Amino acid sequence: MTASRIETLKQMLVQEPKDGTLHYMLGNEYFKGQMYDEAVAAFRQYLTLSDDEGAVYRVLAQSLEGLGRVEEARQAYRDGLAAATRHGHQPMVEEYTRALKDLD
């Protein structure tokens, strides 16, 4: 099922390449399929197009962890912590603070 969703989203992006939501959705599909390189690329593209409130940084960091890129994962959590703080998402602030401690 994930492969067909990926193909559908990729086709949609041909028509709407600057649609941040489509990049986010594609990243999630890649993440679910453990296609972490592709997920990272999609999430980073999303972040160039959208002001995320913090949630994307979780799956970005987890994708980076899956690739063994721990320092980049730490930075993703730090960026997510900043976004969550900026937008007043206290539960996410606490989650990312714990995640950073867990990576130490």
pLDDT per residue over 68-87, tens digit each? 999 999 999 999 999 999 99
Angle at 47 between CA 99 and CA 61, to 5 degrees: 20
Percentage helix, strand, coil for the chain under 3-state DSSP, each rounded to 5? 80, 0, 20
Q: Global pTM?
A: 0.93
Q: Is 33 helix (H, G, I), strand (E, B) or coil?
A: coil
Confidence of residue 26 (pLDDT cuts 50, 70, 90): very high
CA dihedral 18, 77, 33, 28 (to 10 degrees): -30
Q: Which residues contact 8 (CB under 8 A, 6 or more apart)?
A: none
Whether the per-residue pLDDT at 1 is higher than 70: the answer is: no
**Type of residue found at 67:** L
